Amino acid sequence: MIIPKVQRRYCRFCKKYTEQTVTEAKRKPRKKNSRSQRRFMRKMKGYGSFPRQNPKGREKPTKKLDLRYKCAECKKTQSIGTGFRVKKFEIRKE
Ligand SMILES: [Zn+2]
């Protein structure tokens, strides 16, 4: 799937159609000191198995895309809906 880098889309902050650039959201590393991560690290300490079912062998063949649209006028970024699955993805540059 190839999509253009600059698109005219509705901006919910400006409340009108503006030019927006598309970027793929980068994966951020997990926060080490969040509450759930601390609980997970406590569980993983010492002996014992993995605290939940390990997804090994039943992963999906494709990952969901996370697209962000940045408005050229208000410089705000928004994501629209949930991502979709594609095997090949490319942002066309002009
Ligand atoms: Zn805007």
Ordered by start, the domain boundaries in the chain are 2-92
Residue with tokens 């629209």: 80
- Distance, CA 76 to ligand 1 centroid (Å)? 6
Q: How many angstroms is it from 14 CA to the middle of ligand 1?
A: 4
Determine the CATH number of domain 2-92: 3.10.450.80
Chain segment 5-54, per-residue pLDDT in tens: 999 999 999 999 999 999 988 888 888 899 999 999 999 998 888 888 87
What predicted TM-score, i.e. pTM, was given to this entire model? 0.69
Distance between CA atoms of 50 and 63, rounded to whole angstroms? 23
Model confidence at 70: pLDDT above 90: yes
Distance from residue 1's CA to the centre of ligand 1 (Å): 26
27 CA from centroid of ligand 1 (Å): 24
